[in-house]
Amino acid sequence: MPTPGSSADWAAWASVPWTRQTDDDSTGAGTAATIGWRKTGVPYLPLGTAGAQQTLDLWLPAADTSPNAPLPAADSLPRRPGGGTWIVFIHGGAWRDPLITASSFTPAATNLLRRATTTTTTTTEPNIAGLVSLNYRLSPHPAAPSQTARHPDHIADVLAALAFLRRLDILAAGWILAGHSCGATLALQAVMSPARWGLPVSVPVPLPGPVPKPAVVVGFSGLYDLAGFVARPPAGYAHLREAYRAFTAGAFGPDEAVWRAVCPATCEGRWVREWRARGMVVLVQSRQDTLVPYQQLEAMRARLEGEEAAEVRVMEAGGDHDEIWQEGGRMAEVLWEVAGDL
Ligand SMILES: N[C@@H](CC(=O)c1ccccc1NC=O)C(=O)O
């Protein structure tokens, strides 16, 4: 392997067994097909040092979908013939909601695995290598006051997870980084220089290694300008001002200059140059979203269009803020299409 993981990486990997991801949408009692193999809660820091939220979920399209097909051994990482595209997802929840986790990608993941295991591999369909959904440490929430993360903890965890995946020879080239709501903010922060957050270029500290960068970032219902929202909430969203102020201060502290410095629509400098890749951003936003206004997408699009290095594409979605991941179908369709264009 070109970048073999250390024994600490493989010990963390092997500490979680493979399970079956069944096709829960299929009808028929107890006969749901196995569409994927899943590891839930893999620590991305060395065993014994990873906190409960410093884990990831990972799915592979099942090579054998028959219900009794054996699962791979816990210490193995089967690779798809022909490689294929990896998709990494970062959940939302305003940096703090304890009920929105890596598992919130399950509906979209199931949809994507169904597509990956039922399409006969042709030249026109994408080849999905695997899917990953990241947990990261969260900030205090009224229902979870013991959560203590504060910026840059959230982005530091995301970068540590990406570096871990790279050391396992995942995310070598041409992969997609997607996020929902504050996960979209984190996905764009992940392509910027870690020096912006006071973090070293090689993270994490116990196991140094480069942080890989995606070919495309897909932002679903993203938060891109928090200071702008709190200063001038758009019509119809003014009642959310205090909620935004509370979760933003909880994640980044009370200084609004910091809010501007961390948001991808308002930070200093031409950050797309820090990406060192094609620089393609896909923005997806429903006009029926009662928590995030369409204006957040417009602010992000305007900023990206001012940086000639970026390519921006806007895709439509419907429904309220959390429906896009709860239902998963449109999220999967967008990611499938983006993977097909890579
Ligand atoms: N459920 C969250 C609120 C939340 O997720 C949210 C609210 C307004 C705008 C965006 C949000 N989420 C973004 O990640 C909470 O309990 O704080």
Instruction: Quote the ipTM score.
Output: 0.98
6 is catalytic: no
Q: Which amino acid is at 144?
A: A
Ligand 1 centroid – CA 181 distance (Å): 8
321 is catalytic: yes
Q: Would you say residue 328 lies in a domain? A: yes
**Please, which residues bridge with residue 313 across strands?**
282
pLDDT < 70: residue spans in the chain: 1-5, 25-31, 119-123, 201-209, 278
Residue 3 has what pLDDT?
Answer: 44
Is 91 catalytic? The answer is no
Question: Which amino acid appears at position 49 of this protein?
Answer: T
Angle subtended by helix axes 153-167 and 182-189, to nearest 10 = 60
The one-character DSSP state at 6 is P
- pLDDT confidence of residue 224: 98
Collapsed DSSP state (helix, strand, coil) of residue 114: helix
What pLDDT was estimated at residue 131? 98
- 31 lies in some domain: no
Residue numbers of the domain that contains 252: 7-11+39-341
Q: Tell me which residue has its CA closest to atom 16 in ligand 1.
A: 97
Residue 26 lies in a domain: no
Q: Which atom of ligand 1 is nearest to the CA of 143?
A: 16
User: Is 32 a domain residue?
Assistant: no
The answer to whether 130 touches 80, Cβ cutoff 8 Å, is yes
Residue 1, domain member (yes or no):
no
Give the residue, by CA position, lying nearest to ligand 1 atom 11: 94
How do beta strands 55-61 and 34-43 pair?
A: antiparallel
Of 321, 323, 326, the residue with max ligand 1 atoms within 8 A of its CB, to mutate for a pocket test, comes to: 321
34, part of any domain: no
Cα–Cα dist 160/294, whole Å: 31
Q: How far is the CA of 226 from the centre of ligand 1 (A)?
A: 12
Q: How far is the CA of 82 from the centre of ligand 1 (A)?
A: 39
- DSSP β-ladder status, 216-220 and 34-43: unpaired
Whether residue 20 is contained in a domain is answered as no
As for how many domains the chain has, the answer is 1
* Helix (H/G/I), strand (E/B), else coil: 125: coil
Q: Is residue 324 in a domain?
A: yes
List ligand 1's pocket residues with C-beta within 6 A: 92-94, 96-97, 141, 181-182, 223, 243, 247, 291-292
**Active-site residue, from 104, 181, 221, 286:** 181
Domain CATH for 257: 3.40.50.1820
C-alpha 228 – ligand 1 centre gap (Å): 17
Which residue from 247, 290, 295, 321 has its CB within 8 A of the most atoms of ligand 1, so it is best to mutate?
247
